[in-house]
Structure 1
Amino acid sequence: MSKVCKKFDVVAEIMPNKGSVRIKVRVLRLWKVPAFLNPSEISSIEMILIDEKGAKIHASIRKQLLYMFESKIQEGEVYQMSCFAVIPQVGYYRATLHPYKLLFQIKTQVQPFKGSDICKYGLSLTSLADVCSHNHDYKFLVGDGKLTKMVVVELTDASGKCECALFGDYVEELNKKMGKADEGLPVVVIKFAKIKIFRDQASIQNVINTTRIFINPDIPEAVEFKNRAKPAMDEEFLRMHPKKKVSELTDLEEDGIFAIYGVLSGIVQGEDWWYPACKCHRAVIPDSGAYYCNGCSKHVFQIVPRFKVKVEISDGGSTCVFVIFDSDMSYIMEKSCAHFVGKSKVSNGGSCPAEFDAQVGSKMLFIVDNGPRQSKIVDGTFRVKRVCMDSQIIQKFIADGPFVTPVKAMSQAIEVESDNDIDDVDVVADYQPLSFMKDVIVTPPVVAKTPYKEDVVVTAVKRNLSEVFDGATKVQGKKSMRRVKIEKE
């Protein structure tokens, strides 16, 4: 009669005083750490292990034991392992939340295990709002004086936005994967990244040899996220909302979201055409030499100018005033708000840039929300949720006639831009001059699928990354925004 095998330990319950540890785990991530003084040599092998309950723990194989285990363990495979040293996980180099880590020994046993249902990806999803809530810094483990590529991308989910800085080989990896991605905005999954506080805002950074990046992965979480993303432009304007005329808006008592065709007949002069905003997109007000954000409930010292332009829209018989916010106005003008604010060198308010007048006479489609909160603002204007200038979609919209029955029910979509959630904040009359413009953060444009170019910053990486970010920001700030034309998402 065969021996009855001891049951496997639960990873979450591993402690130094529990005796011999025996676990069944999948190698979720495996990476080799180069020696500090000789990068061609391997100093250790690091792993993230996950069990059937989803608990994760860090495991290390030191240099002296590489010959025993390096060829036996592969990333993604399942093993039963036993006989480790269990030590506290301390310091900055922490890859899991487990308070302890496993250290391989000479007597450690490793055997492949078939037929396990342990999760392949082991995702523990965190919202960007949770990332941005961090207020303390972490060390980034890089070598001083080394040259490396760097790119900063912006990530968005339903909770907000967050910048992500990628260094070294991760820049090339992102370029290749984005080049193979489908049209539309990609779904990005990042595992084993670090949180860095920069300019009082939390951002995400890769960890060399550790972080993993997935573009449009075929996993339930990513598929669900993509299905809730902003719909394709032709679908939203032609098939998702009832049509209304401009003349019907003023006396419209029906709540809902409507598609409207009109001609931009003029720019409302003498009104504020931009507002200072926090990186969460909410308006800020000057206070005590800084700016206060009600959304973040704190003072911020770096702000972003964002469009809030009032325009007159006519359908030939009636005229209404629409308010167009940042993402849509940037789409119309093909440039960011920061470009025009920096060029005008004036305070918030006064005459709109002359370039706006070039759009007078343009035919456009608008999505207007006539709900209790988003409908007519107190001054009688209407808040725009999305704009379309695609001539083919406009022609199809007109050809379909004045009435349409939506063929697809709308679920709650993930807004790529959260302009419509911004609280209106009155700007005080003695608004400060634009001395902050030299430090303004300009959000890079989101572009549909195009061949990737080497649009990166090559610079010296230092343990304090503020100077690196400053350099990247200045380079990006000089670029004009290209038209964001997303035909299919």
Structure 2
Amino acid sequence: MEKLFHSVSEIALGEDGWKIKVRVLRLWEVPSFLKPDQTNSLEMVLIDEMGTKIHASVRKQLFYVFQSKLSEGKVYEMSCFSVAPSVGSYRTTLHPYKIVFQMTTKVQACEGASIPSLGISLCKIADVCQHTSDHDYLVDVLGFMTGISVEREYVRDGKVTKMVIFEITDASGKCECALFGQYVDTLNKLMGKSGGGMPIILVQFAKVKIFRDKASLQNVMNTTRILINPPIEQADQIRKSVTFGSMDVSSVPRIGARSKVSLEEDFLRTFPKKTLEQLHSTFEDGVFVVYATIGGLVDHEDWWYPACKCHRSVSADSGAFYCKGCAKHVFQMVPRFRVKVNVSDATNVGVFVVFDGDMQNLLNTPCSSLVSVAKAENAGHYPPEFEKLKGKKMLFKVEKCTSSSIFFDGSFRVKRVCDDPAIIQSFHFVGGQCTPSKEFTADLPKDVYHLDDEDVVVRSFVHAAFGEGCSRAVASAGESDMRSTSVGVKRKLEGTFVEIDSDDEPLSLRYGKLKQG
């Protein structure tokens, strides 16, 4: 008895009369290189009942014939098509051939509940990491999102494109994945709908790229698919196979600590020294290093604030919390330190604002623990643990930024602290102004910022993806001291993983040991 349909695995050159029943797993348009507003081809990934996948293409001359006949996720009977070798460095399937639609190709919608709807072919992250050159085949990976960078933008061919890097971890290992353009918005929306904590993320049809001699992943425009906490059996297996030990899993940590400069570089060689008197009297906005003593806490001031999982502050509203960054109401918040301290030196006094990462380092206690003990009391109700700060002498890297805000209240935002005795001693021995040479770019618009040269991770991703002709990635809106290099970039004003409020601080990573097994 002649079978009704051929298996996709049977498709090969040299034969005609193929007839298949397949689901369109993925469907996208490829724009013309020279005319981006015009479609060059219609591409798709097809899967049959056995789970075998094959790529299919519709050339631009036939686009009008098949565009309205095909929909992603639907099942079709297909016949009268041509077969060609599958080549190139962005192959969506392992099948050696691809389907090429012709004018005579027949497409008929049908039922096909037995055909897989997601069609993932998972690749272990350890296998991804073994690659030493760019891989020609796109891969599917599934794992916990164990870190994420701030959202950035870079300029290429005069256009501003968003970018974010996240870390994905399964039982075999971990690697980084870069998302560009519309995929950053997609991730933000999916994260906003997730239930909190470290989500499981599926990245389907991702490109393996090599940068800095390491294999990483990145999206392929219009092709890659991203799902958060997908309801699949493999996600349950990931949950059982990866444990986190002492690592905080209540939110996704920020990555990027590798590019953070050393304490010596930050406090001794990069920024000017100032006394408190000089800090108050200077007309120059910028970042300065001050040696001062903490005299105590400012009376009747809040010492913590409620934050969304995107790390921005939230305000109580309608029985929930409203986050401006996510532009929605949220029902969970995380307390984070924001402590105003009185400081003094031999020349004057001042008020510094110390944020979550530095406060945790100084107290060796997370904010949530102290808020719980204090029963959420805030202004004026300081925990006894704060007493250990009084009389403490240390270096403060502070920002003075009076010209950009009409709300300057005379206090200074602390960007980093250092109580290392050796560094403090070296600070006193070094000359008066440890000011690095600075570049200035004339006539830059006010919304233009620059990339710090230390941000090699983002720069490498951009170069690996688009080559050296692309402008360097921009500093995030929350990293306001990245202003001394010469590449202009636009500042990101809103977004899920960007800290732009004056009361938000960059997150300090405190990784625990990650157990895999």
TM-score by length of 1: 0.52
Matching residue of 1:133: none
SS at match of 2:415: strand
Match of 2:301 among 268, 271, 288: 271
**Contact preservation (8 Å) 1:305, 1:341:** yes
From 423, 427, 431, give the equivalent of 1:397: 427
Per the alignment, residue 178 of structure 2 pairs with 189
Picking from 440, 453, 457, the partner of 2:514 is 453
User: In structure 2, the residue corresponding to 1:89 is in which secondary structure?
Assistant: coil
Return the alpha-carbon distance in structure 2 between the equivalents of residues 202 and 401 of structure 1.
47
The answer for the alignment partner of 1:108 in structure 2 is 83
What is the alpha-carbon distance in structure 1 between the residues aligned to residue 400 and residue 326 of structure 2? Answer: 27
Q: Deviations over 1:150-193 (max 9, x none)?
A: 45434322479999795xxx5135x354xxxxxxxxx6425989
For the pair 1:171 / 2:234, whether they are aligned, the reply is no
SS state of the match for residue 324, structure 1? strand
Post-superposition Cα deviations, 1:5-41, rounded to whole Å, max 9, x if no partner, equal xxxxxxxxxxxxxxxxxxxxxxxxxxxxxxxxxxxxx
Displacement of 1:375 in angstroms is: 8.4
Amino acid paired to 1:302: Q
Alignment pair present for 1:88 and 2:70: yes
Conserved in 1, the CA contact under 8 Å of 2:398 and 2:413?
A: yes
**C-alpha separation between the residues in 2 aligned to 1:313 and 1:303?**
30
Find out whether 1:381 has 2:370 as its counterpart: no
Work out the percentage of aligned pairs sharing the same amino acid.
Answer: 29
Of 470, 494, 501, which residue of structure 2 is paired with 1:422? 501
For the pair 1:198 / 2:193, whether they are aligned, the reply is yes
Letter in 1 for 2:70: P
Partner of 1:358: 388
SS in 1 for 2:339: strand
Question: Conserved in 2, the CA contact under 8 Å of 1:58 and 1:102?
Answer: no
Please report how far the alpha carbon of residue 320 of structure 1 lies from its aligned counterpart in structure 2 after TM superposition.
Answer: 1.4
Distance 1:56 1:332 in 2: 58
Cα distance in 2 between the residues matched to 1:249 and 1:365: 14
How far apart, CA to CA, are the structure 2 residues paired with 1:284 and 1:292? 5
Q: Is the 8 A contact 2:342 2:349 kept in 1?
A: yes
For residues 369 and 261 of structure 1, the distance between their equivalents in structure 2, rounded to whole angstroms, comes to 14
1:207 maps to 202
1:60 aligned partner: 45
Secondary structure of residue in 1 paired with 2:305? strand
Distance 2:74 2:510 in 1: 36
Residue deviations 1:250-272, cap 9 Å, x none? 33333322121223232334321
8 Å CA contact 2:306–2:335 kept in 1: the answer is yes
Q: Give CA-to-partner distance per residue, 1:226-278, whole Å, 9 cap, x none.
A: 89965444333222221101232233333322121223232334321011233
State how far apart, in whole Å, the 1-side matches of 2:333 and 2:373 are.
17
Counterpart-to-counterpart distance in 2, 1:105 and 1:234: 69
Gaps of 5+ in 1: 1-42, 74-79, 94-100, 122-138, 143-147, 178-186, 426-442, 457-489
2:149 maps to which residue? 155
Aligned letter for 1:60?
A: V
Amino acid at match of 1:189: A
Q: 1:318 aligns with which of 326, 340, 348?
A: 348
Moved more, 259-268 or 226-235: 226-235
Residue identity in the other structure for 1:156? V
Contact 1:59 1:103 in 2 (8 A): no
CA contact (8 A) 2:152 2:164 kept: no
Shift of 1:400: 0.9
Letter in 1 for 2:418: C
Structure with greater contact order relative to length (CA < 8 Å, sep ≥ 6): 1
TM-superposed deviation, 1:201: 8.3
Contact in 2 for aligned 1:240/1:408 (Cα 8 Å):
no
Residues 281-330 of structure 1 deviation map (CA, whole Å, 9 limit, x = unaligned): 44333222223334454433222222110112223453211011223323
Tell whether 2:242 aligns with 1:257: no
Match of 1:435 in 2: none
- Displacement of 1:399 after TM fit? 2.0
Structure 1 CA distance, aligned partners of 2:293 and 2:366? 22
Runs of 5+ unmatched residues, structure 2: 1-22, 93-116, 121-141, 154-161, 219-254, 441-449, 453-474, 480-497
Q: Contact 1:200–1:300 (CA<8 Å) still a contact in 2?
A: no
1:306 aligns with 2:341: no
* Mapping for residues 95-134 of structure 1, pairs under 5 Å: 107-110=82-85, 112=87
Using the TM superposition, name which of 345-354 and 83-92 deviates more.
83-92
- Equivalent position SS for 1:402: coil
Q: In structure 2, what is the Cα distance between the partners aligned to 1:47 and 1:302?
A: 37
3-state SS in 1 of match to 2:171: helix
Residues 416 and 364 from structure 1, CA distance in 2 versus in 1: closer, same or farther, beyond 3 angstroms? farther
Q: 1:105 to 1:322 in 2, by over 3 A?
A: farther
Residue of structure 2 aligned with 1:248, choices 266, 278, 290: 278
- Kindly state the Cα deviation for residue 392 of structure 1 after the two structures are TM-superposed: 3.8
